[in-house]
């Protein structure tokens, strides 16, 4: 374990026990201790005074870590590395097992995604810790690449090192759209195995769900369903059933998870909101939907990791790509490879790059049987057209309503347009803000504009070409 890995692991432990991350001066003290360096040797490259680190920061830090790491032994600058390495040795000398050894909280199924390069999200993690203690169901929604899965994986990592009252965690990626009867069967096998029980799997789905609730009541589990948007397969143009015919029973399961008494918590990630969750939340039921936004200044660490230059321009990249971690990592990698790491040279070309996952997610939304309604697609194209005409970056909602409704051959009510705009905002496709005059302004992020001007146009052209060929 090198210094960076050790500091990260200790940082996670402090968060798990104290609900806060280490401050930068504390990390500097840890680095000095781990590398067995004098404070004077390490402060030269930092803005901190040696007296601050030695007399104010270090003593409080060692008291804190004695309570978290010491296990009866006092943690000091000289003893830190030995104490940490002793705990690693107890975990069969495998650093990856330190988390499990520190807490004894197992992951019963599934593998967490790699979060070795995790940035920021301190407020979000603190909020999620509170929500899963209060609610029976929590949904994290956000655009492709925004970091939903990474955030939940980090949460699990932190919880396993703390004293949180969970008996175990189940991580299931459901991007393959499993039928409910199969998913419940998998969960039952996992839970039965964790309790060393023989499973007599019921035939009917209702009997399986009832058996599942027996487990969820008897112990406290955190059940994570990643990529849950795969379950939303209803035709939004013709039906109010978001799940579609084959997946309709999921709505019943989720309602029971929220409304019935049990000890566990269901945590899902999705690119699309679950409307039934929102309705139950408004009724005061124990469910919460959280929309995950992009990174702020924490994203600067991505550019530093890739060794980019022109730091004064980094903020422009964060704003253009709305702090989307996956987009920024892809961008930083390309700037490093093709522009020698120079952000200024890249910006001179005035282009917007797009990740495959971002484009694929938009393709799924805009395709003929995608998850957007005809009205929502029309609004998106109209908004793009109007923004390209205007010199500014946004357009007033009232202006958009008048122009859009004036162009429609079929009568569209203002209520329908507002509902469509609300749905687009929930899917991170439209941005909105309020100016000083309390007027609502609508805009689109650059990646979405590029998609609508390029890729979606190709989809339309291909559709027309296919139609002509068929004729």
Confidence bin at 468 (pLDDT 50/70/90):
very low
Instruction: Give residue-wise pLDDT tens across range 239-263.
Output: 888 899 999 999 999 999 999 999 9
84 versus 289: the higher-pLDDT residue is 289
**What percent of the chain clears pLDDT 90, i.e. is strictly above it?**
47
List, in sequence order, every residue forming a beta bridge with 432; answer none if it has no partner.
442
Q: How is residue 157 written in tokens?
A: 């990592």
Three-state SS for 16?
A: helix
Q: Looking up tokens 């919880």, which residue turns up?
A: 159
pLDDT of residue 364: 87
DSSP code for 309? B
pLDDT of residue 456: 59
Instruction: Give residue-wise pLDDT tens across range 200-242.
Output: 888 899 999 999 999 999 999 999 999 999 999 988 888 888 8
Q: How is residue 35 written in tokens?
A: 């590398």
Q: What are phi and psi of 413, to 5 degrees?
A: -75, 155
CA nearest neighbour of 59 among 36, 25, 83, 84: 25
Average pLDDT over residues 438-460: 83
CA nearest neighbour of 281 among 316, 255, 248: 255
CA distances from 376 to 261, 289, 329, 416 (A): 38, 22, 30, 10
Instruction: Give residue-wise pLDDT tens across range 405-441.
Output: 777 767 788 999 999 999 999 999 999 999 888 889 9
Whether the Cβ atoms of residue 187 and residue 238 lie closer than 8 Å to each other: no
pLDDT of residue 165: 72
pLDDT of residue 462: 60
The CATH class that applies to domain 104-291 reads alpha beta
CA nearest neighbour of 143 among 433, 424, 457: 424
Q: From CA 17, how far away is CA 68, in angstroms rounded?
A: 7
Strands 221-226 and 168-173: parallel
The CATH class that applies to domain 358-470 reads mainly alpha
Residues making up the chain, counted from first to last: 471
CA distances from 329 to 146, 335, 342 (A): 11, 10, 15
Strand order in the sheet with 107-109: 107-109, 168-173, 221-226, 265-270, 137-141, 287-291
Q: Is the pLDDT of residue 90 over 50?
A: yes
**What percent of the chain clears pLDDT 70, i.e. is strictly above it?**
89
pLDDT of residue 331: 94
Domain range list for the chain: 3-102, 104-291, 297-351, 358-470
Instruction: Give residue-wise pLDDT tens across range 303-349.
Output: 998 999 999 999 999 999 999 999 999 999 999 999 999 999 999 99
Average pLDDT over residues 349-378: 88
18 versus 299: the higher-pLDDT residue is 299
Q: Is the pLDDT of residue 465 over 50?
A: no
Q: Is the pLDDT of residue 163 over 60?
A: no
Instruction: Give residue-wise pLDDT tens across range 389-406.
Output: 876 789 999 988 888 877
pTM metric for this prediction = 0.78
Question: CA-CA-CA-CA torsion for 97, 103, 105, 111, nearest 10 degrees?
Answer: -30
């Amino acid at each position: 374990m090198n210094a960076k890995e050790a500091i990260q692991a200790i940082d996670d432990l402090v968060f798990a026990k104290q609900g806060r991350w280490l401050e930068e001066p504390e990390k500097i003290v840890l680095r000095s201790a781990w590398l067995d360096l004098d404070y004077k040797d390490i402060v030269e490259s930092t803005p901190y005074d040696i007296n601050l680190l030695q007399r104010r920061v270090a003593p409080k830090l060692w008291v804190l870590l004695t309570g978290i790491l010491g296990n009866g032994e006092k943690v000091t600058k000289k003893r830190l590395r030995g104490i940490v390495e002793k705990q690693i040795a107890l975990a069969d000398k495998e650093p990856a097992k330190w988390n499990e050894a520190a807490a004894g909280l197992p992951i019963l199924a599934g593998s967490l995604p790699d979060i070795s390069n995790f940035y920021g999200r301190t407020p979000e993690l603190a909020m999620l810790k509170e929500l899963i203690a209060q609610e029976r169901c929590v949904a994290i929604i956000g655009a492709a690449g925004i970091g939903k899965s990474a955030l939940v994986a980090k949460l699990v990592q932190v919880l396993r090192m703390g004293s949180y009252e969970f008996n175990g965690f189940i991580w299931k990626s459901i991007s393959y759209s499993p039928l409910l009867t199969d998913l419940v069967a998998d969960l039952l096998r996992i839970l039965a195995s964790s309790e060393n029980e023989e499973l007599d799997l019921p035939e009917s789905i209702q009997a399986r769900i009832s058996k599942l609730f027996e487990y969820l009541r008897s112990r406290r589990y955190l059940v994570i369903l990643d990529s849950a948007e795969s379950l939303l397969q209803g035709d939004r143009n013709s039906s109010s059933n978001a799940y579609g015919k084959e997946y309709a029973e999921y709505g019943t399961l989720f309602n029971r998870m929220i409304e019935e008494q049990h000890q566990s918590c269901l945590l899902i990630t999705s690119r699309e909101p679950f409307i039934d969750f929102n309705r139950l939340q408004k009724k005061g039921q124990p469910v919460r939907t959280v929309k995950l936004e992009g990174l702020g200044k924490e994203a600067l660490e991505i550019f530093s990791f890739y060794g980019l230059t022109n730091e004064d321009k980094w903020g422009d990249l964060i704003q253009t790509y709305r702090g989307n971690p996956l987009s920024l990592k892809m961008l930083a990698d390309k700037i490093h490879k093709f522009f020698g790491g120079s952000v200024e040279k890249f910006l001179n070309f005035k282009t917007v790059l797009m990740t495959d996952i971002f484009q694929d997610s938009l393709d799924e939304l805009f395709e003929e049987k995608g998850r957007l309604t005809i009205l929502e697609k029309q609004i998106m194209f109209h908004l793009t057209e109007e923004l390209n005409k205007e010199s500014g970056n946004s357009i007033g909602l009232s202006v958009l309503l008048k122009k859009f409704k004036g162009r429609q051959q079929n009568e569209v009510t203002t209520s329908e347009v507002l509902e469509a705009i609300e749905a687009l905002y929930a899917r991170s496709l439209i941005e909105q803000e309020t100016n000083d005059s309390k007027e609502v302004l609508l805009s689109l992020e650059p990646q979405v504009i590029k998609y609508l001007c390029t890729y979606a146009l190709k989809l339309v052209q291909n559709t027309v070409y296919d139609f002509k060929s068929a004729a």
